[in-house]
Amino acid sequence: MVLKKEIHTKREGFSSSIGVIAAVLGSAVGLGNIWKFPYVTGANGGAAFILVYLLCVALVGLPVMLSEHLIGRHTKANAVGAFKALQPRRPWLLVGGAGVLSAFLIMAFYTTVAGWIYAYIFKAAGGALISAKPEDTFGVFNSLISGVGEPLFWQWLVLLVIGTIIMAGVTKGIERVTKLLMPLLFILLLVIDIRSLTLPGAGEGLAFLFKPDFSKITFSVVLAALGLAFFKLSVGMGAMITYGSYVDKNENLPKMAIKVALADTLVSLMAGIAIFPAVFALGFEPNQGAKLLFVIIPAVFNSMPFGRVFMVLFFMLTAVAATGAMLSLLEVPIAYLTEQYRWTRRKATLLTILAIGLLGSTATLSNSVFANVIVFGKTFFDLFDFTTSNILLPVGGIFVALFVGWQWGYAKVKREMSNEGRLKNDGLVRIYMFLVKFIVPIAIVIVLLAGLNLINP
Ligand code: PFF
- Alpha-carbon gap, residue 346 to 311, rounded angstroms: 35
* DSSP state letter for 375: B
Plot region of 199 (φ>0 → left; ψ -120 to 50 → alpha; else → beta) = beta
Half-sphere exposure of 370 (CA within 13 A, CB side): 17
| CATH class as words, domain 16-451 | mainly alpha
Protein residue with least CA distance to atom 9, ligand 1: 234
Tell me: the pLDDT tens digits for 388-429?
Answer: 999 999 999 999 999 999 999 899 999 999 999 999 999 999
CA 204 / ligand 1 centre spacing (Å): 30
Total length of the chain: 457
CA 375 to chain centre: 24
pLDDT score of 6: 36
Protein residue with least CA distance to atom 4, ligand 1: 32
- Alpha-carbon gap, residue 286 to 404, rounded angstroms: 40
32 lines ligand 1 (CB under 6 A): yes
Which atom of ligand 1 is nearest the CA belonging to 32? 4
- Alpha-carbon gap, residue 357 to 380, rounded angstroms: 14
Residue 296, CA distances (Å) to 190, 193, 284, 293, 302 in order: 16, 13, 8, 5, 10
- Alpha-carbon gap, residue 231 to 105, rounded angstroms: 12
Q: Assess contact for 441 and 398: CB atoms under 8 A.
A: yes
CA 301 / ligand 1 centre spacing (Å): 27
Domain ranges of the chain: 16-451
Higher pLDDT, 52 or 20: 52
253 lines ligand 1 (CB under 6 A): no
Q: For all residues of the chain together, what is the average pLDDT?
A: 89
- Alpha-carbon gap, residue 334 to 66, rounded angstroms: 22
Provide φ and ψ at 419, rounded to 5°: 50, 55
Tell me: the pLDDT tens digits for 99-152?
Answer: 999 999 999 999 999 999 999 999 999 988 887 777 888 899 999 999 999 999
Helix (H) or strand (E) holding 4: helix 2-9
274 lines ligand 1 (CB under 6 A): no
30 lines ligand 1 (CB under 6 A): yes
189 lines ligand 1 (CB under 6 A): no
Tell me: the pLDDT tens digits for 268-304?
Answer: 999 999 999 988 888 888 888 888 899 888 887 887 7
Torsion of the alpha carbons at 219, 265, 158 and 69, rounded to the nearest 10: -90
Which atom of ligand 1 is nearest the CA belonging to 103? 13
Which atom of ligand 1 is nearest the CA belonging to 28? 1
Q: Assess contact for 345 and 338: CB atoms under 8 A.
A: yes
Residues paired with residue 375 on neighbouring β-strands, in sequence order: 378
- Alpha-carbon gap, residue 352 to 330, rounded angstroms: 8
- Alpha-carbon gap, residue 65 to 38, rounded angstroms: 22
Mean pLDDT of 379-384: 96
Task: Provide ipTM, 2 decimals.
Answer: 0.99
For residue 4, count CB atoms less than 10 angstroms from its CB and return exposed for 0-12, middle for 13-18, buried for 19 or more: exposed
